[in-house]
Structure 1
Amino acid sequence: MKNFDERSLDESNTVGRAKKSQGWIILALVVTLCIIFIIQGILTGLLFGNYSTVNDDLSVLKYNVSDPAMKNDVSELWKSVLNILGDLSKLKDKVDITGGSCTTCPFGWKMIRSNCYFFSSLLETWKRSKELCAGRNGILVVIKDEFEMMSLLPIIAQKNYWIGLKRDPNNITMWMWTDGSPLTYSVWNEGEPSNAYNNEHCAEVIGKVQLWNDLKCDQRRYYLCKGVWDC
């Protein structure tokens, strides 16, 4: 068993080691703080240096723009920009925004004539078909010319598809497309549209004869969507 003097010596050694350890921790913290202050000083110097450079560049630019020759060049450039914007606006008015123009189509859609089309594999009513096309960010197809009609026929094949054509509810002798445009191109089957029993208000394309027919809207057919997104 240790006597009193030995225990006192051990306790003194333990206290000494603890104080020495604390001293190293304090020294490490001081060194870390010094490094942080040095880095902060360097970054501050770089920041003010860059600010001075940018400010000098802005001063030079301001001086140059105040030069009459530079002002004339800027004025001519601005006129050119305005002319380009005007041409783009005119071009936009001539483009059929219903069709869009893409280089790729979403999965399940087919690209035909730079447009995307979705050919359904399920039979639906005309109204439901219109809703499903809208849910796919498209419209029940609007066919504006013979070239578009002919380009769709190989995939339509022998099936019958709803198209986005319906009688105007305010005038049943008139037909309207789902995009709100009037009917200007059509390829009705012989004797159609007949409006049998005064109840055939929706249009389909009959793949077998490659022509259109009017039909009761609650009949079930495949449907054909056309993409309307911007690409």
Structure 2
Amino acid sequence: MIIAVNSTRRGDCGIRRTEEFTMHSGRIQDNVYANSRDFNAQRIEKRTKTKEPPADKNPQGWVIITLVVLLILMFLILLIFTSLLFVFYKSITDEQSHLNSDVKELNSQLENNEQETNNNFTIEISHLRSNVKELTSELKKSKEETDSELKQIVSTLKESVANLTDDLKKIKNENIQDSCTSCPSGWQLIKSNCYYFQANGETWERSRVICETLNGDILILKDKAELDSLLPAIGNRRYWIGLRRDNKNINNWLWADGNRLTFSAWNAGEPNNEHNSEHCAEILGGPKSMNDRNCEDNIGYICKRAWTC
């Protein structure tokens, strides 16, 4: 608020007083305005303080308290769960200990049973071996006795057969001399067969064919006894016999009737298949009188046939 007092009467002094008063009034006004602002600020600050909630009613405190309670509950739950796990683990451990004890006991029983079984098996095997040994001894003894008896029987049968054979030969010879023509003309009776000795030279195959035309066969030797019986008539001459190499295997020898060679009377170093061309057999004089020779050579031959009545 500004108060102005004009005094014309007082002149310049009055004017100065008026200005001083005016300045003083301005200062007072400024102080009033300042005080008013301070008062208003104090009122606002007071109002703000009255509106702030008390510290114990702050929501952040409740959150902290809630979290602490939850942590305590979780700790209690974990403690209870850990206790339960420990109890469960202890029960499992006890059960495992019981099972291990039972397993050890079972293993012990099995070992005892196995030992007993092995002992029983050993005893049984020992008995069986003893029985087998006795049976083997008895069988061996029985076999020896049987073999001895069989040998004796076979020897007796051989003697009987030999006697019968000799008797039959005697009867045949007697009958031949008494009632049969011994052999055809040109044939020789040796033992119980007729033989034809031809000195004219022919090949092996040609000799076989000629013997067949004479109602005989090229000589097929039955055994060494027959060969020995022919040696005096053979002398020092050479004759084809009915023996030649197998076409499928030249190391095998076959008679003209297809039978294999069952005895050998080869000369020393024979058969040697010289020049790989000696595939037929000839007979010479002497006990070792067989020799291999080229089938195309021309030598004598011997035919054989049974005697006729």
TM-score by length of 1: 0.54
The reply to whether residue 182 of structure 1 matches residue 256 of structure 2 is no
Residue equivalent to 1:10:
none
Q: CA deviation at 1:121?
A: 2.8
Relative contact order higher in (CA < 8 Å, ≥ 6 apart): 1
1:217 to 2:299 alignment? no
User: Percent identity at matched positions?
Assistant: 48
Of the structure 1 ranges 171-180 and 201-210, higher mean CA displacement relative to structure 2 is found in: 201-210
Asked if 1 retains the 8 angstrom alpha-carbon contact of 2:218 and 2:304, the reply is yes
CA-to-aligned-CA distance 1:38-71 (integer Å, 9 cap, x gap) = xxxxxxxxxxxxxxxxxxxxxxxxxxxxxxxxxx
Q: Distance in 2 between matches of 1:167 and 1:228?
A: 26
- Equivalent residue of 2:292, what SS? strand
Assess, with a 3 A threshold, how the Cα gap between structure 1 residues 151 and 208 changes in structure 2: closer, same or farther. closer
Structure 2 residue 207 is matched with structure 1 residue 118:
no
| Stretches (4+) displaced over 3 A | 228-231
1:163-214 CA deviation, whole Å, 9 max, x = no partner? 0000011111100001111100110011100011111000001126751100
**2:187/2:195 contact within 8 Å kept:** yes
Deviations 1:23-49 (A, max 9, x none): xxxxxxxxxxxxxxxxxxxxxxxxxxx
How many residue pairs are counted as aligned between the two chains?
A: 131
Tell me the amino acid that sits aligned with residue 143 of structure 1: L
One of 236, 250, 263 as aligned partner of 1:158? 236
Answering whether residue 216 of structure 2 is matched by residue 138 of structure 1, we say: yes
Counterpart CA distance in 1 for 2:289 and 2:233 is 14
Unaligned runs of 5+ in 2: 1-174
Cα distance in 2 for partners of 1:113, 1:229 equals 10
Compute the displacement of 1:230 (Å).
6.5
RMSD over aligned CA atoms reads: 1.9
SS of residue paired to 1:171: coil
8 Å CA contact 1:156–1:207 kept in 2: the answer is: yes
| CA distance in 1 between partners of 2:262 and 2:287 (Å) | 21
For structure 1, the residue ranges without an aligned partner over 5 or more in a row are: 1-100
Contact 1:139 1:228 in 2 (8 A): no
In structure 1, what is the Cα distance between the partners aligned to 2:308 and 2:194?
Answer: 11
The alignment's TM-score, normalised by the length of structure 2, stands at 0.40
1:135-171 per-position Cα deviation (integer Å, ceiling 9, x unaligned): 1011110112111000000000010010000001111
Q: Distance in 1 between matches of 2:215 and 2:256?
A: 13
Are the aligned partners of 1:153 and 1:210 in contact in 2 as well (CA < 8 Å)? Answer: no
Taking the aligned partners of 1:128 and 1:209, their CA distance within structure 2 comes to: 27
Query: Highest CA radius of gyration, 1 or 2?
Result: 2
**CA deviation map 1:57-109 (0-9, x unaligned):** xxxxxxxxxxxxxxxxxxxxxxxxxxxxxxxxxxxxxxxxxxxx964110000
- Alpha-carbon spacing, 1:204–1:150, altered in 2? closer, same or farther (3 Å): same
Structure 2 counterpart SS, 1:120: strand
Normalized per residue, which structure has more helix? 2
- The one-letter code of the counterpart of 1:144 is K
**SS of alignment partner, residue 206 of structure 2:** helix
| CA–CA distance in structure 1, aligned partners of residues 250 and 223 of structure 2 | 23
